[in-house]
Structure 1
Amino acid sequence: MQGRVLIIAGSDSGGGAGIQADIKTVTALGGYAATAITALTAQNTLGVEAIEEVSAPFVARQIDVVLKDIGADAIKIGMLHRRQVVEAIADVFDRAEKLPPVVLDPVMIAKGGASLIATEASEAIMSRLIGPHTHVLTPNIPEAEHLTRTKIDSLADMEKAGRLLLSEGPAAILMKGGHRDGMEIVDILLTKDGIETFSHRRIESRSTHGTGCTLSSAIATGLAQGLSISKAVARAIRYVENAIFEAPGIGAGHGPLNHGHTVGRFD
């Protein structure tokens, strides 16, 4: 087991996304997962039915106790439903002498279309987390449009939005291209050193619930294990592709991935 990853995210009762997908991903890639739960959701493959809040001080307490004892080689942030939670997390980070790389997946809209974030929370994410504390930001196209207030229709638009987000302070922006039409998906990694593209064939599947959570946790695991950003992203994309390809076909809606495809089968 190599690489301690602290996951700050919401719980998915259906097990396909959120903290459940994050823990599975980190474990399947050989890392150690610790958690700070930001919200509870009642959801399945058909959608989100309800969200139960976790108090901001308790979110911060979870982070504090993990970092003081277990520590972390990387931090992954997912669902941040309310401004108070964002502020509490940022306050913990502000007090830290040194933070490990932070991978922030700006979770805003569920696969079924339900909003998972309040407006003031997204503003706080930009000012308190993305600028001062984020190492790698992993928005999909709708999230990037929301954060940059721009329309993204092309690869050139993705690059432009990525540059805007990079100017806010992160070391890298991974612009995920899965929402664009076509049989080829192109993801764009932007850093101060340049641009790298990752092209891969689209897998036609309804089992795509939790792909964003899974990808960002896989990237965080790679960073925790000492991989460069580029190598961490490349491995994470391959891991997600195989997880979709081997998905179990559970549920009547957007089903979960097979996070355990790296794990040996036992009789």
Structure 2
Amino acid sequence: MSAVALTVAGSDPSGGAGVQADLKTFAAHGVYGTSVLTALTAQNTRGVRGVHVVPAGFVAQQLDAVLDDVTVHATKIGMLADAGVVAAVAAAVRSRDVGRVVLDPVMVATSGDRLLDPAAVAALREDLLPLADLVTPNVPEAAVLLDAEPARDLDGCRAQARELFARSGTTVLLKGGHLTGADSVDVLVGDAGELLLRRPRVDTTATHGTGCTLSSALAAQAALHPGAGWEQLADPARDYLQAALRAGAALRVGSGHGPLDHAFALREDRP
């Protein structure tokens, strides 16, 4: 049986983030991808122009249609847009077998556009976060989840990752890309303790969909290796992200923050 992953997220018509990035990432890992759309966005590499939220009842109907028929080994949850959609997704996670859950608490796009309203933030924090197996906030998102000021340095990230794990019981991968320094350092905190994941910072403007790509790579790894701990899965997922970031500039797609190259391995192997 093939490894199967599900993405529950918004659509990006420019192809670099959201469901499109998730499905490309699943395919790059050899994982069969399924998807449930929570929102339609009008966006490109320069920003978000509009968001059309899918009604919560239809999100639930999509989830039922997939899960009634397909065995899912891991689920990545991304943009949820409003509290009703959060509630519908949380109900499915509680009642259905969706495999291990990676929650990417998408709140603000790379361009700075707000993607989650305040009521949805509260619902995500209280209803969905404790159900996830792994949550992958960036520095601003961790601050929102904790109702605190954003961390200013690595020590602050470590403290906030520990606090978020203590409050939720969910393993935390706090992404340090918003900090400065030669290395980008992520903090993984869970039952196995604390682990720092360092990678050289990639000097590129092709960063559209970075968070989506990492969370979906983690879900793909979880689908492929159901018995492995997050401390074992995080490094290969980060390695994939690093390579996709390095290759993204060569795509020359868009005139803003261009996308990563999710299919870099195919292009490298091309004669």
Q: TM-score, normalising length from structure 2?
A: 0.94
The one-letter code matched in structure 1 to 2:233 is A
User: In 1, distance between residues paired with 2:176 and 2:2?
Assistant: 30
Query: 1:173 — aligned with what?
Result: 172
Q: Tell me by how many angstroms 1:95 deviates.
A: 2.2
Query: Does residue 228 of structure 2 align to residue 230 of structure 1?
Result: no
Query: 1:142 — aligned with what?
Result: 140
Query: For 1:52, what is the secondary structure of its paired residue?
Result: strand
The one-letter code matched in structure 1 to 2:62 is Q
Query: Does residue 258 of structure 2 align to residue 259 of structure 1?
Result: no
Query: For 1:156, what is the secondary structure of its paired residue?
Result: helix
Q: Tell me by how many angstroms 1:115 deviates.
A: 0.1
Query: 1:62 — aligned with what?
Result: 62
User: In 2, distance between residues paired with 1:37 and 1:111?
Assistant: 20
After superposition, what is the alpha-carbon deviation per residue over 1:118-173, rounded to whole angstroms, capped at 9, x for unaligned? 00001000111101x10000000010011112221121211111112112334410
User: In 1, distance between residues paired with 2:175 and 2:109?
Assistant: 16
User: In 1, distance between residues paired with 2:123 and 2:179?
Assistant: 28
Query: For 1:246, what is the secondary structure of its paired residue?
Result: helix
User: In 2, distance between residues paired with 1:123 and 1:22?
Assistant: 25
Query: 1:217 — aligned with what?
Result: 216
1:39-50 alignment, distance < 5 Å: 39-50=39-50
Following TM superposition, where does structure 1 have runs of at least 4 consecutive aligned residues deviating by more than 4 angstroms? 264-267
1:118-157 alignment, distance < 5 Å: 118-131=117-130, 133-151=131-149, 152-157=151-156
Q: Tell me by how many angstroms 1:181 deviates.
A: 1.1
1:6-17 alignment, distance < 5 Å: 6-17=6-17
1:108-123 alignment, distance < 5 Å: 108-123=107-122
Q: Is contact 2:247–2:260 with CA below 8 Å preserved after alignment?
A: yes
Query: 1:52 — aligned with what?
Result: 52
Query: Does residue 160 of structure 2 align to residue 161 of structure 1?
Result: yes
Query: 1:192 — aligned with what?
Result: 191
Query: Does residue 32 of structure 2 align to residue 32 of structure 1?
Result: yes
Query: For 2:34, what is the secondary structure of its paired residue?
Result: strand
The one-letter code matched in structure 2 to 1:43 is Q
After superposition, what is the alpha-carbon deviation per residue over 1:168-188, rounded to whole angstroms, capped at 9, x for unaligned? 334410010000011211111
The one-letter code matched in structure 2 to 1:74 is A
Q: Which runs of 5+ in 2 are unaligned?
A: none
The one-letter code matched in structure 2 to 1:180 is L
Query: 1:73 — aligned with what?
Result: 73
Q: Which runs of 5+ in 1 are unaligned?
A: none
Q: Tell me by how many angstroms 1:261 deviates.
A: 1.3
CA RMSD, Structure 1 to Structure 2 (Å): 1.4
User: In 2, distance between residues paired with 1:174 and 1:183?
Assistant: 20
Give the length in aligned residue pairs: 265
The farther-off stretch of 42-51 and 229-238 is 229-238
Percent identical residues: 40
Query: For 1:65, what is the secondary structure of its paired residue?
Result: helix
The one-letter code matched in structure 1 to 2:263 is G
The one-letter code matched in structure 2 to 1:252 is S
Q: Tell me by how many angstroms 1:219 deviates.
A: 0.2
Query: Does residue 59 of structure 2 align to residue 21 of structure 1?
Result: no
